[in-house]
Structure 1
């Protein structure tokens, strides 16, 4: 309704909005129209609710759109350069962008490059690690927007709000007990690879952000190959455990292929001493044997947690905030979320579905959509591809495409009111016959 009002007064509004979305799409970021409109709303009104646009005239909206575009460009460059998160799949917490856009516009894009910028990024990372805007998005976003109205102390208040809700802002080894590329900690793993002294296992060269251009993506590498793990009876969640993931250049990933880690890890360490440790791989060679796989995962989780805390402390510019008394000293890891895709083949298939939809003037779905409890924000399951507002946004039933998922994911989709498909062709028939028609 807010967009309809704007378009009635400014007929070119929708095309201008889509032009911005196309600009970011070319750069590798798939933003939704709703998110851009939310950023404009936050920049102009300091609030998250679309109804606040009712009092905004056309010249003000045009100005707000320009400011939001500049702010998003600024933030993408900042997040890409400082955190290495420079493409869509690893860009977490989209709903942090309206708040951050408001923050940088209100300060005329003049942020202190050390402490202020570091603390803003510290808050952003924690917002995607703990699902700050999962669940009651507008309510929490509105509350956080009120915290940045004052020119001074805003970031302390934002971080304080996270600390109250979490109790502990440290990362623990148990937090890495997750699987699939849809896990909240997947972007953190990629981020650590880009900002720390990780080295390619084929060349020994560093994989830092400044060594890669926008199109030279790192590829996901399973340290223990999938085929080897399946052969020895491990389940899908074990095979695709987050602690079994690392990143390499494409050439190295192909060269390593399905080699036994007990053999190739030794060769890498002999050729490039320290290269394994740069990826937080335990150097105890007994852990590289297939029968010690779970011990390997445990050891690597501990190293990843230490690396994450060291980097977050660097961003924060001081020792991490003390643990509140209410926080548990030894966190208990929740069971891994059901659902999610874990390999490039499945991701390619899902992206092809999105391309087919866009070619038929239908909206692309959200990859690795995290279904959360509407009240608590607690994650329930990960859907491969989802349209939470329907293929006819706001008019049709929520839809999900679930490839090779188990009954837990199907049940979660049912309970959340999603119409789901387990076959691409069946989904395409639905889209063609029921929606496009």
Structure 2
């Protein structure tokens, strides 16, 4: 066995593919972008055709020898394989090549570990990494075979270092899970507060590097980091948007999706992705200049299904029309509802059309009427104001006299509960002939 090096950023890439695989070139380019996002230097690329995976190495033995020879020639620190490897395959490759081997899942986890900034994001990444590592603690590390005990003061049941590491890792996973559940409970309380305020919720989703963060910054004053690289941002950011015809809404920028996203990572990021799962509308951002955009859209829809968000209403945003040579426009269905908006988040072309479409989809029929509230209904007044339903008001000894102008979807939920505010609102709406659902 060899000793694993602590760090290495000189990488040799292995790109497995099968006969007739139409997107092999695209997959290779995407993997190279992932490697660059991880901060590694690419020393060489070796394609490897795989029709029947080798249970020992995944790639064939002859190709494994070729990789070993090139790794020595270019003095690579790490070999990165664009496929999910079993722990046995990864361990066998490391032993045969004499350098670290990292598969696609390990590479993505490494990028996430570098990019996570929030407390929740760091917990999610560490949990996913530990679950990934747990399957690889099988005699691949030379120091793990030593028995404890034997020396004075160190005698014991003879637990191996491997068993100790497994036990400690399991305890850390339990600890992280408890901490993450606490953080997610707090985030859930914040989401419920937004629900109580009846503010419509919109979540940006899409394949990584489709321009979600750039669009988010264009619609809000979020100031989210945006760059032409995969997984430029990970942590969800939520901002309020006030300039929509339906009234205020909140928009969340979520992590980008990618093919073969590690299952442990999807599971760990369920808390973060809850911003998408709990949304009233998903803005599915696509790269209009990408010829492969339909397949990438299917990848995103697959992840949405996995997090139980596949049935949510979507509005497709075809971004980067400045690169695609298209003009800004809205595509509508047979009933006139917006289904697509073509725009450029970078130049701002078409953003007004997106705001128009959001207003239509989130607003619906508008309710306009006068409404009077007693001074004792201060909480209801505050909720109506927070929802952007009040366009004018005056106050006297009898209470507030309000001018209401808001979508039906904003007013109706306020009258749907059993609390005093909801009862009061229903009574007032009936007396003022303001229709509610």
TM-score, structure 2 as length reference: 0.24
Q: Larger radius of gyration, structure 1 or 2? A: 2
Choose between structure 1 and 2: higher helix proportion: 1
Q: TM-score, normalised by structure 1?
A: 0.24
Structure with larger RCO (C-alpha < 8 A, sep 6+): 1
